[in-house]
Amino acid sequence: MSGRPPSGGLRLGVNIDHVATIRNARGGEHPDPVKAALAAAEAAADGITAHLREDRRHITDCDIEQLMARLVIPLNLEMAATEEMLEIALRHRPHAACIVPEKREERTTEGGLDAAGQYDHLAPFVARLGEAGIRVSLFVEPDPRQIEAAMRLGAPVIELHTGRYAHLAGEAREAELRRIADAAALAAKNGIEPHAGHGLTFDNVVPVAAIPQLAELNIGHFLIGEAIFTGLDASVRRMRALMDEAR
């Protein structure tokens, strides 16, 4: 996404999937993820991220249509590399598309894409999205093999999976943070814009936000959960402030 230039050059993408999770628990229209996206934009979000999963467990096709029609900040569509999702992305032409691995049985996106092992499968998706003017990102583990594969695939952006970092503690967390920093530096050195996301919270975001090459963080579950206590505006603004302080 290329919304307003934030201080320190680090954009915040707010993932609104779990507003839809709550809505879908009762099958009605409330709470509306599009309304949440507009509120997040009003607060401090530079972009909105939404994952249209194959099983439509949270975001629906109608949500994507409404987001495209009503958002004034960029939409980053998270999608699996399937023909169905490609057709949807090409029809709506969001600002960006982040290709993620998707397993029906997982609770959330559990690991990064195997960009190296799935090169032949991914290449036409990266090419066709790119030709349509959509900024393609690959959601990968902070592993040099994956960055090198993203380079060969010609992806302009990678998003580094911070899930492991978020779940570790102590020395192990420090080591994972170094892997993320090294991966961000390797990507940037090779002309790929590095983003990061997954499992980020007020307590763990600062060391990640301090990695100078990172241009964007995508954060969802924690912000939506925190909004129950403080409201979405306050939760997004506090995250923005922590990110700014880290730069």
Q: Does 204 bind ligand PXP (CB under 6 A)?
A: no
Residue window 88-127: x/- pattern of binding to ligand PXP, with contact defined by CB under 6 A: ----------x-x-------xx------------------
Residue type (1 letter), 72? V
Contact at 8 Å (CB) between 10 and 216? yes
Q: Does 197 bind ligand PXP (CB under 6 A)?
A: yes
Residue window 56-95: x/- pattern of binding to ligand PXP, with contact defined by CB under 6 A: ----------------------x-----------------
- Among 10, 11, 12, 17, the residue binding ligand PXP under the rule CB under 6 A is 17
Q: How far apart are the first and last CA of the chain?
A: 19
Q: Does 146 bind ligand PXP (CB under 6 A)?
A: no
Contact at 8 Å (CB) between 199 and 163? yes
Residue type (1 letter), 202? F
Q: Does 48 bind ligand PXP (CB under 6 A)?
A: no
Q: How far apart are CA 46 and CA 48, in angstroms?
A: 7
Q: Does 222 bind ligand PXP (CB under 6 A)?
A: yes
Write down the catalytic residue from 18, 58, 78, 102.
78
In the complex, minimum distance from the CB of residue 173 to ligand PXP, in angstroms, rounded to a whole number: 16
Contact at 8 Å (CB) between 43 and 236? yes
Q: Does 200 bind ligand PXP (CB under 6 A)?
A: yes
Q: Which stretch, 39-47, 60-68, 193-201, 207-215, contacts ligand PXP (CB under 6 A)?
A: 193-201
Contact at 8 Å (CB) between 154 and 135? no
- Among 11, 92, 164, 198, the residue binding ligand PXP under the rule CB under 6 A is 198
Q: How far apart are CA 132 and CA 141, in angstroms?
A: 26
- Among 31, 33, 142, 220, the residue binding ligand PXP under the rule CB under 6 A is 220
Helix (H) or strand (E) holding 77: strand 75-79
Q: How far apart are CA 214 and CA 218, in angstroms?
A: 11
Q: Does 221 bind ligand PXP (CB under 6 A)?
A: yes
Q: Does 142 bind ligand PXP (CB under 6 A)?
A: no
Residues 6+ apart with CB under 8 A from 60: 20, 52
Concerning whether 78 is annotated as a catalytic residue, the answer is yes
Residues 6+ apart with CB under 8 A from 163: 109, 110, 111, 198, 199
Concerning whether 51 is annotated as a catalytic residue, the answer is yes
Interaction site with ligand PXP (CB under 6 A): 15, 17, 51, 78, 98, 100, 108-109, 139, 159, 197-200, 218-222
